[in-house]
C-alpha cells in the first residue's frame, strides 16, 4: 500500500554561524501518518520544523511539501500547513476570541464568526472567549495555540512540543484528537520529549546533533538498536544503578521504582555483569524500551557527531 507523500525532503542542512545545526536531514511522510520527532535539547528539531514550514531557508537540500517546492513556493506552503510554535505564539494581550478571529482573517477564511465559534466550542472555551489569552494557564495556552493552527484546516500539522506542560488528561485528549485528524488524511509531524507520546505515533524520527539516528516504527527502532535488557527485582535493586553501569557490557542502568533496568547490546555480557548480585536479586530478560534506545543514542551520539564534524 502506498500513500501519497505529503512531506518529502532530502539533505536538509542548516548552519548558524558556521555551526551545522541540522545535517543532511531526510524525511518522507505519507498522508495520514503521525510521525514523532524526538531528540535531546538543541538537537535541531525546531530548526528542522522551521525549514519544512518555510520559516527558514535551508543552506542545502531540496524538498517538497504538499507537492510545493520548499524554496520557491514558501508562501504557498505557509498558507496550507499548520505550524504550532514551541513558544506560545499568540497574542497575550488579545482575548481568546480576538486571537482566533485574527488568525481566521489572516487566512482569509469564510464564515469567520461561525468557524471561530465552533473552534471555541471544540476547545471548551466558549464561556471564556473574552478572557485575555495571556491569563490562561500553560496547558490551556497550548490547547488554544493548537486550535489556532488548525483553524484553516491544513493538510499538514507541524507541532513543536505541543504538550509541554499539559496535564495527562489533556494530553490524552490531545492525542485522541491527533489520531482523529490523521484518520481524515492529515499528516502530523510532532516533536516531543515524552516516551509515551512517541509510542502513540505511527513512526518516529530521532535526531541528535542535527543528525538523524533512528527512523521507523517503535518496534523497528528498538530492533534496529540491537539493545537487550534485564530487569532486576529484589531488595536494594534500585540502588545498584551506578555500580552496575560501571561494569563492562552495560550501556545503561536506571532504577524504575524498586526495580533496576539494565541495558546492553549483548545478553550474555549483561548476565555476566549482573552476576555478582545474582543471589539477592532476580534478573529477568525484558524487551528494551524506546526510552532505552533514546538514552543510549543520546549518550553515544555525541562521540559520533564529534567524528562526523571536522
Ligand X SMILES: Nc1ncnc2c1ncn2[C@@H]1O[C@H](COP(=O)(O)OP(=O)(O)OP(=O)(O)O)[C@@H](O)[C@H]1O
For other proteins, the closer CB: 56 or 208: 56
Nearest to 192 by CA among 178, 182, 181, 184: 178
Q: Cα(161)–Cα(193) distance, rounded to whole angstroms?
A: 8
Instruction: Decide which of Mg ion, other proteins, ligand X, none touches 105; Cβ closer than 5 to 8 Å per partner kind.
Output: other proteins
How far apart CA 31 and CA 196 sit, in angstroms, is: 23
Choosing from 28, 86, 95, 265, the residue that interacts with ligand X (CB under 6 A) is 86
Beta bridge partners of 159: 84, 190
CA distance 290 to 163: 19
* 94 is a site residue for other proteins (CB under 8 A): yes
If one asks whether residue 74 binds other proteins (CB under 8 A), the answer comes out as yes
Scanning 40-48, 91-99, 172-180, 240-248 for contacts with Mg ion by CB under 5 A, the matching segment is: 40-48
Q: Please say whether the beta carbons of 25 and 9 come within 8 A.
A: yes
* 164 is an interface residue for other proteins by CB under 8 A: no
List the interface residues with ligand X, window 32-51 (CB under 6 A): 39, 41-47
Task: Give the whole-angstrom CA distance, residue 25 versus residue 95.
Answer: 39
Cβ proximity to ligand X, 32 vs 39, nearer residue: 39
Pure H helices in the chain: 45-52, 74-80, 96-106, 112-123, 138-150, 168-183, 195-199, 218-225, 241-245, 267-274, 290-308
Residue 78's binding partner among ligand X, Mg ion, other proteins, none (Cβ under 5 to 8 angstroms by kind) is other proteins
Please give the Cα distance from 62 to 10 (Å, whole number): 6
| Residue 129 binds other proteins (CB under 8 A) | no
Residue 46 in the binding site for Mg ion (CB under 5 A): yes
Q: Could you list the residues that contact ligand X (CB under 6 A)?
A: 16, 21, 39, 41-47, 86
Q: Could you list the residues that contact other proteins (CB under 8 A)?
A: 16, 50, 53-57, 74-75, 78-79, 83, 85, 87-94, 98, 101-103, 105-108, 132
Amino acid at each position: 500500500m502506498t500513500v501519497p507523500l505529503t512531506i518529502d525532503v532530502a539533505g536538509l542542512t542548516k548552519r548558524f554561524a558556521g555551526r551545522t545545526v541540522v545535517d543532511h536531514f531526510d524525511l518522507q511522510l505519507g498522508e495520514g501518518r503521525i510521525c514523532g520527532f524526538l531528540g535531546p535539547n538543541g538537537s535541531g528539531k525546531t530548526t528542522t520544523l522551521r525549514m519544512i514550514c518555510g520559516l527558514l531557508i535551508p543552506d542545502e537540500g531540496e524538498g517538497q511539501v504538499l507537492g510545493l517546492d520548499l524554496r520557491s513556493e514558501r508562501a504557498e506552503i505557509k498558507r496550507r500547513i499548520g505550524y504550532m510554535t514551541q513558544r506560545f505564539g499568540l497574542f497575550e494581550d488579545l482575548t481568546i476570541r480576538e486571537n482566533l478571529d485574527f488568525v481566521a482573517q489572516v487566512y482569509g477564511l469564510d464564515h469567520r464568526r461561525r468557524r471561530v465559534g465552533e473552534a471555541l466550542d471544540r476547545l471548551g472555551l466558549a464561556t471564556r472567549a473574552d478572557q485575555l489569552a495571556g491569563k490562561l494557564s500553560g496547558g490551556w495556552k497550548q490547547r488554544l495555540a493548537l486550535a489556532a493552527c488548525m483553524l484553516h484546516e491544513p493538510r499538514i500539522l507541524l507541532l513543536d512540543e505541543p504538550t509541554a506542560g499539559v496535564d495527562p488528561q489533556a494530553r490524552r485528549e490531545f492525542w485522541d484528537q491527533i489520531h482523529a485528524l490523521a484518520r481524515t488524511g492529515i499528516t502530523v509531524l510532532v516533536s516531543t520529549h515524552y516516551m509515551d507520546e512517541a509510542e502513540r505515533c505511527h513512526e518516529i524520527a530521532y535526531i541528535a546533533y542535527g543528525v538523524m539516528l533512528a527512523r521507523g516504527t517503535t518496534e523497528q527502532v528498538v530492533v534496529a538498536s540491537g539493545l537487550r535488557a534485564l530487569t532486576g527485582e529484589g531488595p536494594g535493586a534500585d540502588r545498584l544503578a551506578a555500580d552496575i553501569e560501571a561494569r563492562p557490557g552495560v550501556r545503561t542502568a536506571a532504577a524504575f521504582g524498586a526495580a533496576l533496568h539494565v541495558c546492553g547490546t549483548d545478553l550474555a555480557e549483561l548476565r555476566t555483569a549482573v552476576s555478582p548480585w545474582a543471589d539477592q536479586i532476580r534478573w529477568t530478560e525484558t524487551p528494551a524500551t524506546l526510552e532505552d534506545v533514546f538514552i543510549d543514542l543520546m549518550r553515544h551520539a555525541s562521540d559520533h557527531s564529534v567524528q562526523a564534524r571536522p
